[in-house]
Amino acid sequence: MTSITGHKQGSPVQPGGFWEAVARWTLSVDHKKLGMMYIGAGLVFFLIGGLEAAFMRLQLARAENTIIDPETFNQLFTMHGTTMVFLVGMPVLLGFGNFLIPLMIGARDMAFPRLNAFGFWLFIFGGALLYFSYIGSEGLYGAPGAPDVGWFAYAPLTSRTFSRGNSTDYWILGIMVSGFGSMTTAINFIATIFCMRCPGMKFMRMPMIAWMMLVVAGLVLVAVPVLTAAQTMLLLDRSLGAHFFDPETEGSAILWQHLFWFFGHPEVYILILPAFGFVSEILPVFSRKVIFGYALMVAATVGIGFIALGVWAHHMFVVGMGPELDAFFGASTFLISVPTGIKIFNWLGTMWGGRLRFATPMLFVTGFVAMFVIGGLTGIMLATVPMDWQLSDSYFVVGHFHYVLFGGTVFGIFAAIFYWFPKATGRMLDERLGKWCFWLLFIGFTLTFMPMHISGVLGMPRRIYTYEADRGFEIWNLISSIGVPVQMAGVLIFLWNVVRSLRKGEVAGDDPWDAWTLEWSTTSPPPEWNFDRIPTCTSARPLWDRKHPEDPDAHYE
Amino acid sequence: MRTTSEPIALARMSRAKVGMASLIFMESAFFAAFLVTYLYYIGKSTSGPQPIECLDRGPVLFNSACLIASSFTVVLAVRALARGAIGLFRVWLLVTVLLGFEFLAGTAIEWSGLVTAKGLTIQSNAFGTTYYSLVGFHAFHVIVGLLMLVGILVLSMFGCIDPRRDHARVDVATWYWHFVDVVWIFVFLLVYVVGRVPQGGGL
């Protein structure tokens, strides 16, 4: 086993055989190892989900294509959406929370380390269960194949009548199991942030990521159990013949939509708030300025957390809820753009007049802000009810949420990986390859998703496996598909960068970015106990105070 | 503006308490979904057994009284433990567990009556579907709470509960039992008071 006496500084490769390494990782309850395993597993699922998307774009590249049959196409978009939301977004972001929160608040581990490991393995088994459906869903019914009901699994498509075999059951159980993992992690985040802060780390001195993760954990605790409840009802419908969602027998298909989106919309903020946190940490360091409006930023985050619970039915404008509900949910959706706008302007205020260093993390962060604004603006368009009636379930919506979730969350994740990779491994990622990665991803992303707005306005519905020629869709779909290999090249360069930098990347040292939060005050990679002595905190930038005793932030609080 | 930069020691909250409070918060969201669903389907059953024919308040009131009483007995148990009176602690905990088992037995008797005499199953209609799932999930949580309490009781029988060391832990574990009780109050009001409607009767 690993030696307890010390760690080899600057080298992620530790001594011992292969099986010892496997045991060291799988038996670990260390928040850093678990966090890295979350991120690593999430990236594997990211490649799988990306390949599924690539196959869809291949099929849609030209009109009346026949590379992929309709049934497979349904499975592809279902698995792509489910994978990206539940097996990429959640685990990678929660993984960063795991890795960063104790380091940033000056703690030696999470509040419940074993619960933490339990949550991670639930996520892995949930993901495995979902993908096992490709092999195991045939069951006794002779209807093989992966889930094909779409990632929000609308009733009554999911009833026994329309979804034979066990594929939908695998969808339910896989997500439920990984959802239990997310909930235990959320409990852990809250207990850690409340109880484990180092001396002096008052709430209003916490790094923005800790705030974001606290709000995310709260949203997980409210939203995910509702999904679990809805999925339980669906399971009862399918297995015991209950009548929750079957409209033929007193059930209500709309109820599923309400319950699902009561989870589904907070989920969107669960996926974006941690990325906001990354931006709020990285942007000041590469602008060499304190974050603009810390208190307002905190207030906006908490505000988003609350309003996020009251906007869910804007996914259901075309259901026909009536003018009152349409007006309410349209208005609440406009309202949530206020705290979000505050954040954007605070980031711009942070950059304004700063000494900007465009290293790779900063490139991704800047890309994030720009792309997220575009996604936010199309979001405001979609919150306008009559506009939504026109555009709902079209490629415009697909373009919108990919701008938010890819241009937003994924760019944020890449920024975070480039920024904290030196801390986690002790080695820098290569800058030149990093810039290639950014520009290829950025250009490929724009090529793929910008034209979707146009094909959507032209009337192309989402989730169709092909389309007729002469509808005007061809050129936009072709451009979208051309973007895919560009993105793939970016991802491959990223993977090569990781592999290469792990072996012979530049040794990072404790604090390669000259940053201000506590994780940079310990070694890279940090020892298992994080800090030899528990640090103390005198302001929101404890490491600045330590570096600049002549002008500490504490004087301005 | 403060001139000194001395760090302030933080009053530490208990991890166990924050963790348990979060768990209860999460479980509340789970039950909220089932309660809202029940509310939505009240009076929507057009055929099959109706709530007013099936739900007999008498035995349920007795069961409810037992469950709510168990919340008080468990408080007495925790207080006894805080004083170090381990014998009294065991007695009150045993009473709590027995009251919990009474509640479960009452539910079992009620359900068997509903299935055999009234013909109400989860497949009958929307009422049966929502009734069995809501009450059933509550009973499932009662079982989980009972497992915790029985576990503590067994540990104390083997002398593994040290009043000074474990008082706070036992206290936190009983929070869950109180939560199960509070949920039952909501379930009772919704199912046996608000939702006891005849066929076609809405709210």
DSSP secondary structure, A431-448, as one string: HHHHHHHHHHHHHHHHHH
The token pair at A101 is: 């929160």
Evaluate whether B38 touches B183 at the Cβ level (below 8 Å): no
User: In this predicted structure, what is the pLDDT of residue A164?
Assistant: 84
| Pair of tokens at residue A517 | 């939060």
In the prediction, which pLDDT does A4 show? 44
Instruction: Please indicate if any CB of chain A lies within 8 Å of the CB of B203.
Output: no
pLDDT for B47? 86
Please indicate, yes or no, if residue B152 is contained in any of the structural domains.
Answer: yes
pLDDT, residue B145, reads 96
Residue B145 lies in a domain: yes
What's chain A's length in residues? 557
CA atoms within 13 A on the CB side of A330: 18
d(CA B174, CA B24): 12
Give the separation between CA A161 and CA A155, rounded to whole angstroms: 11
The chain A residue lying nearest B39, using CA atoms, is A255
Q: Do B126 and A241 make contact, defined as CB atoms within 8 angstroms? A: no
Residues whose CB falls within 8 Å of the CB of residue A454, separated by 6 or more in sequence, listed in order: A476
The domain containing residue B135 runs over which residues? 57-194
A200 burial class (0-12, 13-18, 19+ CB within 10 angstroms)? Answer: buried
Structure tokens at A133: 């459906």
With beta carbons less than 8 A apart as the criterion, state whether A315 and A449 touch. no
CA–CA dist B164, B176 (Å, integer): 21
Taking a C-beta distance cutoff of 8 angstroms, is the pair A6, A526 a contact?
no
pLDDT attached to residue A8: 45
Radius of gyration of chain A from its Cα atoms, rounded to whole angstroms: 23
Query: Residue B44 and residue A225: Cβ atoms within 8 Å?
Result: no
Report how far residue A207's alpha carbon sits from residue A198's, in angstroms, rounded to the nearest whole number. 12
Contact status of A160 with chain B (Cβ, < 8 Å): no
Residue matched to tokens 């061809």 = A474
Any domain includes B122: yes
> How far apart are the C-alpha atoms of B30 and A306, rounded to whole Å?
18
CA nearest to A365, candidates A349, A351, A379? A351
Record: contact A221-B126, CB cut-off 8 A: no
A324-357 per-position pLDDT tens digit: 999 999 999 999 999 999 999 999 999 999 999 9
Q: What is the DSSP letter of B3?
A: S
List the one residue out of A49, A29, A51 whose CA is nearest residue A112.
A29
The answer as to whether B39 is a domain residue is no
The helix or strand, by DSSP H or E, that contains position B149, with its residue range, turns out to be helix B126-157
Q: Enumerate the residues of chain B whose CB falls inside 8 A of the CB of residue A233.
A: 37, 133
Give me the residues of A, 214-243, that contact B with CB < 8 A: 217, 221-226, 228-230, 232-233, 236, 240-243
Instruction: Give the separation between CA A423 and CA A520, rounded to whole angstroms.
Output: 7
Does residue A401 sit within a domain? yes
Tell me how close the Cα of B16 comes to any Cα of chain A, in angstroms: 8
Count: domains in chain B = 1
**CA-based end-to-end distance of chain B:** 59
Mean pLDDT for chain B overall: 91
Q: Chain B: residue nearest A260 by CA? A: B33
The answer to whether A226 contacts B30, with C-beta atoms less than 8 Å apart, is: yes
Distances (CA, A) of A518 to A105, B7, B93: 7, 15, 46
Residue A493 belongs to some domain of the structure: yes
The answer for residues whose C-beta is within 8 angstroms of residue A122's C-beta and 6 or more apart is A177, A178, A180, A181, A184
Residue A551, Cα to own-chain centre: how many angstroms? 38
Which residues are CB-neighbours of B141 under 8 A, at least 6 positions away? B27, B180, B183
Q: Is A30 inside a domain boundary?
A: no
Q: Is B112 on the interface with A (CB under 8 A)?
A: no
Count structural domains, chain A: 1
DSSP label at A314? G
Q: Tell me which DSSP letter residue A516 carries.
A: -
Chain A residues within 8 A of B23 when measuring between CB atoms: 187
Q: Which residue of A has its CA nearest to B12?
A: A195
Which residues sit opposite A427 in a β-bridge? Answer: A507
Look up the CATH number of the domain holding residue B113: 1.20.120.80
Tokens 């986690």 correspond to A424
Please report, for the domain that includes residue A336, its CATH number: 1.20.210.10
Tell me if A197 is assigned to some domain. yes
User: In A, residues 510-539, which contact B (CB 8 Å cutoff)?
Assistant: 536-539
- Residues of chain B neighbouring A236 (CB-CB closer than 8 A): 122, 129, 133
Q: Do A555 and B3 touch (CB under 8 A)?
A: yes
Say what the pLDDT of residue B2 is: 42
What ipTM describes this predicted complex?
A: 0.92
Question: Hey, are the CB atoms on B46 and A251 less than 8 Å from each other?
Answer: no
Instruction: Note the pLDDT of residue B10.
Output: 53
Residue A344 lies in a domain: yes
Which one-letter DSSP state was computed for residue A288?
Answer: T
Q: Tell me which chain B residues have a C-beta less than 8 angstroms from the C-beta of A225.
A: 26-27, 29-30, 33
Average pLDDT in the B16-20 region?
95
Q: Is residue A99 a contact partner of residue A39, using CB atoms and an 8 Å limit? A: yes
Which pLDDT does position A554 carry in this prediction? 80
Residue A18 placed within a domain: no
Are the C-beta atoms of residues A227 and B35 closer than 8 Å to each other?
A: no
Q: Could you tell me if residue B4 is inside a domain?
A: no
CA distances for B78 relative to A81, A444, A523, angstroms = 49, 63, 45
Burial of residue A293, with CB atoms counted within 10 A of its CB: 0-12 exposed, 13-18 middle, 19 or more buried: middle
- The pLDDT assigned to A27 comes to 92
The pLDDT assigned to B46 comes to 85
Q: Is B27 on the interface with A (CB under 8 A)?
A: yes
Residues of chain A short of pLDDT 50, as ranges, are 1-12
CB of A176 within 8 A of CB of A228? yes
Cβ-contact A212, A269 below 8 angstroms: no
Mean pLDDT calculated for residue range B50-62: 90
User: Does residue B137 lie in a domain region?
Assistant: yes
Q: Does A48 touch chain B (CB under 8 A)?
A: no
Question: Within an 8 Å CB–CB cutoff, is residue B199 touching chain A?
Answer: no
Predicted TM-score of the model (pTM): 0.93
Phi/psi of residue A461, each to 5°?
A: -75, 150
Contacts of residue B78, Cβ cutoff 8 Å, sequence gap at least 6 = B89, B167, B170, B171, B174
- Domain of A269 in residue numbering reads as 37-556
Residues 6 or more apart in contact with residue B45 via CB below 8 angstroms: A250, B125, B126, B127, B128, B199
Residue A47 near chain B (CB below 8 Å): no
Residue with tokens 């990072």: A508
Nearest to A8 by CA among A533, A499, A503, A524: A524
Dist CA B146 CA B5 (whole Å): 50
pLDDT over threshold 60, residue B129: yes
The reply to whether A8 falls in a domain is: no
A201 and B10 within 8 Å at the Cβ level: the answer is yes
